[in-house]
Amino acid sequence: MNRYASTQNFMEYVQSRNVGQPEFHQAVEEVIDSLLPVVQENKEFQEAKILERVVEPDRIVSFRVVWYDDKGEAQVNRGYRVQFNNAIGPYKGGLRFDPSVNVSILKFLAFEQIFKNSLTTLPLGAGKGGADFDPKGKSNLEIMRFCQSFMNELAKYIGPDIDVPAGDIGVGGREIGYLFGQYKKIRQEFTGALTGKGPTWGGSLIRPEATGYGAVYFARNMLKFNKKDIAGMECAISGSGNVALYAAEKIIQLGGKVLTLSDSKGFIFDKDGINAEKLNYLHDLKTVRRGPLKEFAEKFNVEYHEGKKPWGVKCDLAFPCATQNELNGEDAKLLTGNGCFLVSEGANMPSTPEAIEVYKEMKVLYGPGKAANAGGVAVSGLEMAQNSMRHSWSREEVEDKLACIMSSIHDSCIAYGQTQNGVDYLKGANIAGFMKVAKNMVSFGVM
């Protein structure tokens, strides 16, 4: 069977080698559709088996993490690091602490990271890691003990020129602090082996804001290309964590109106729009106290919809910023039926394949996560550069660089994604991200 003859053929090969990993299959299928024509035309890529190699991680480490809870009972979790591809730089990508974490989810995330990191224009390879640890309801001390135990093992595999982890779901500034403290102690070095650090210990300004801001910059680029502007646009956001809250902040700064936010329990609909005062309250509620959004709804007297997602609210622009597969075909029909014409993904793979089909049919301006949320890892790359120089840039310098990188990602999507029906940003991002990695892999020989 010719693996390169169709997406189905290639996917049969991937599925047979990665049994029981549906999220990984989904992420691979999403890029193979775009890459097959490129590989069909390129003998060099075929001879070097680039496609087969790019779907195979360099290595996956899995380890036991044991820690004491506040009752003095020992708890056992599983930690991982997937080092997927280092053809353009050290492995780079976040750590996720969530009970759902498994090999399939981390492989999908690390695989996406290959293309995303390549698009940033910075020298960043791709990795992802985490643990099936649930940070919800844990005390500060429990989080600290868990992070220390996790790092005791992870420290063997990372380093500023080897693999540089950062945050993701369940891992923010507090966790990076405990992880960095333990790394520094074990290795006896103060280096940029993690990003998302605090500003007084090597962190870049704007890194906390970067993913959310970047997703809004990407939306602004798509709008500008279509002679539109974000000012006055009504926006639906999902999630209320790091990415969602800074996306909201930037939308408000640019004159847009934020109607919704969500968490794992439900969503809020604020018809007046969320303002800076409400956003301050939300930062404290969701990222410091880690409470439910329902509390916000009660305090500010806004609508709260338990167990529901925000995609039925009438809006112009949508920013899914919570988690994978949070927006399905039915949701996409509701959204577009209500007039939504742009989706910029702050989360990784939030739209199901059926939702993406609806975007295509309805000619939605669709910015896939690997392009739209690349601002976070891009500023992580800038943090690494500042650490290497023993220097730090001002907020303005970093934000300017972030805006330039998001524009350059938009340009790359246009360069590779032009079709008769307009720009296919998913195709553009996949091919642009792939080309640099594939060419480097050819240069290094078969290995």
The residue count for binding ligand NDP (CB under 6 A) is 25
107 belongs to the catalytic site: no
- Which among ligand NDP, ligand 2IT, none contacts residue 158 (Cβ within 5 to 8 A by kind)? none
Residue 292 C-beta: closest distance to ligand NDP, Å? 7
Identify the sign of the CA torsion 94, 98, 99, 105.
negative
Surface-to-core class of residue 371, CB atoms within 10 Å of its CB (0-12 exposed, 13-18 middle, 19+ buried): buried
Torsions phi, psi of 21, nearest 5? -125, 70
End-to-end CA distance of the chain: 24
Non-local CB neighbours of 397 within 8 Å, separated by 6+ positions: none
Q: What is the DSSP string of 15-68?
A: HHHSTT-HHHHHHHHHHHHHHHHHHHT-HHHHHTTHHHHHTS-SEEEEEEEEEE
Continuous segment of H or E residues that includes residue 8: helix 7-17
Continuous segment of H or E residues that includes residue 12: helix 7-17
Taking the C-alpha atoms of residue 319 and residue 340, their distance in angstroms, rounded to an integer, is 11
Per annotation, catalytic residue among 92, 107, 116, 128: 128
Choose which of 57, 130, 368, 376 interacts with ligand 2IT (CB under 6 A): 376
- Positions in 163-222 near ligand NDP (CB under 6 A): 167-170, 172, 211
Distances (CA, A) of 143 to 36, 70, 304: 44, 10, 30
- Which among ligand 2IT, ligand NDP, none contacts residue 92 (Cβ within 5 to 8 A by kind)? ligand 2IT
Q: Is 93 in the site for ligand 2IT (CB under 6 A)?
A: yes
Q: Is 215 in the site for ligand 2IT (CB under 6 A)?
A: no
Taking the C-alpha atoms of residue 59 and residue 226, their distance in angstroms, rounded to an integer, is 42
Choose which of 89, 90, 94, 202 interacts with ligand 2IT (CB under 6 A): 94
- Which among ligand 2IT, ligand NDP, none contacts residue 138 (Cβ within 5 to 8 A by kind)? none
Closest C-alpha among 104, 13, 1 to residue 51 = 13
Q: Is 264 in the site for ligand NDP (CB under 6 A)?
A: yes
Residue 327 C-beta: closest distance to ligand NDP, Å? 11
- Which among ligand NDP, ligand 2IT, none contacts residue 344 (Cβ within 5 to 8 A by kind)? none
Q: Is 240 in the site for ligand NDP (CB under 6 A)?
A: yes
- Which among ligand 2IT, ligand NDP, none contacts residue 240 (Cβ within 5 to 8 A by kind)? ligand NDP
Q: Is 23 in the site for ligand NDP (CB under 6 A)?
A: no
Q: Which window, 51-59, 372-380, 401-409, 413-421, contacts ligand 2IT (CB under 6 A)?
A: 372-380
Q: Is 166 in the site for ligand 2IT (CB under 6 A)?
A: yes
C-beta separation of 109 from 168 below 8 A: yes
Residues in the chain: 447
Residue 199 C-beta: closest distance to ligand 2IT, Å? 16
Q: Is 242 in the site for ligand NDP (CB under 6 A)?
A: yes
Non-local CB neighbours of 65 within 8 Å, separated by 6+ positions: 76, 77, 78, 79, 131, 133, 146, 149, 150, 153
Q: Which window, 79-87, 178-186, 319-327, 412-420, contacts ligand NDP (CB under 6 A)?
A: 319-327
- Which among ligand 2IT, ligand NDP, none contacts residue 321 (Cβ within 5 to 8 A by kind)? ligand NDP
CB 140: neighbour CB atoms within 10 A? 9
Binding footprint of ligand 2IT on the chain (CB under 6 A): 92-94, 116, 166, 168, 195, 348, 376-377, 380
Binding footprint of ligand NDP on the chain (CB under 6 A): 167-170, 172, 211, 239-244, 263-265, 286, 321-323, 326, 346-348, 373, 376
Q: Which residues are catalytic?
A: 128
